[in-house]
Amino acid sequence: MPTYKLFAKIAAASILLFSSLPSKAAAEGPGVSARGAVLMEQESGRVLFGRDEHTSMRIASITKIMTAIIAVESGKLMQRVKISEKAAGTEGSSLYLKPGETVPLKDLVYGLMLRSGNDSAVAIAEYVGGSLEGFVYMMNEKAQEIGMKDTLFQNPHGLDDHEDHYSSAYDMALLTRYAMENETFKEISATKVYRSPQEGEKWDRVWRNKNKMLKYYKYSTGGKTGYTKRAKRTLVSTAEKNGMELIAVTLNDPNDWDDHERMFEWAFHEFDLVPIVKKGPVDGVQKEYKHKLEANRTFFYPLRESEKRDITSKMNVYRYPKDGKWKGGEAPKPVGRLFIELAGIEIGNLPLYYEGKAPIKDDLGVWGTFKNIFSQLFFVQAEGGTDG
């Protein structure tokens, strides 16, 4: 198996790990009208609330989150796209693109996210994917990479032109979590108004974001609306308060604006984003390692006040050499890992480094891989609490 595909599978496994939590937190929560719903914390991927979150349903235009992030990652945002007859003639919500005109890919992505242009979605797909079919293949490959197991894409816009175009609230939260790690996507998603110069015209196209949460909810940071007759109302929205970023997804929800605000307010009241392990030296180690092991980033996790006492940790490290001399002249990088548990369930882990040899960039960011976990052999284990 090619290395990049192996790492993609490992990354997908890491997403599921970080989202595996005590069911009590997800079972309790605010009442919502949605058929499917989920509330996820961005940093950890923890599900704070869910209702039928793994049930596949029609998703309408929140499909365009996938279309947008693939376009952003293509590296072609500043290139101009020639609009085809097929793209210009796409039914439903439209930017009123004209056949033969050229539009920067960046502007098409803004029009896609703010005004939900179906014509824009097709133009993006044809340009980035080479064809609609090629782009749909890319969408499903990306979904597999991210760990979206209850999803199948058949088009770039979410129109009900296929019986088997679907996703789940949980999968759409995973996708949004992934996309929000990209600063360009994050900026586009939060934009309220965008002006796009129109080729051959003296006036610009002006797009105002359909996401009312940006206007009416002060902590809102972005999202995407959706609606078709069969999918009904769908909504993805994001919010941030006191450093905690949340993702809310509702499918088939007649009261989505109020439900999203209610979920956000509930979570901001119930949970704090806690620095469970702080960057720097770690405690609870064998004497040879005392004051010599460090974590190179702070590990944050959303917790209720009552959960904070249920946090424990386990540490796996290489055996310290009897003569104090490491093979090759220095300790392995990393020299071990710190596994963090909540009520006996692993919620994350951090690499540990010896005597300040930690790299500036961690090997396990939110979208890192577990490649080092499986390479660490001949460990000894210690158990204890965390350092903060």
For the annotated binding site for substrate, the residues are: 224
Question: Is-catalytic flag, 116?
Answer: yes
Report d(CA 384, CA 285) in Å as an integer: 9
Q: Would you state the structure tokens that stand for residue 227, as one six-digit string? A: 């609606």
Query: Which residues participate in the annotated binding site?
Result: 224
Question: Is-catalytic flag, 94?
Answer: no
Q: Would you state the structure tokens that stand for residue 260, as one six-digit string? A: 């999203």
Question: Is-catalytic flag, 167?
Answer: no
Q: Would you state the structure tokens that stand for residue 110, as one six-digit string? A: 């803004």
- The catalytic position among 19, 116, 168, 313 is 116
- The catalytic position among 44, 56, 64, 142 is 64
Report d(CA 151, CA 66) in Å as an integer: 11
Report d(CA 119, CA 93) in Å as an integer: 8
Q: How many other C-beta atoms can be found within 10 angstroms of the C-beta atom of residue 355?
A: 13
Q: Which residues of 279-290 are buried (b: 16+ CB within 10 A; e: fewer)?
A: beebebbeeebe
Long-range contacts of 326-331 (CB under 8 A, 24+ apart): 330/354, 330/357, 331/355, 331/357
- The catalytic position among 44, 61, 93, 167 is 61
Report d(CA 284, CA 136) in Å as an integer: 50
Catalytic residues: 61, 64, 116
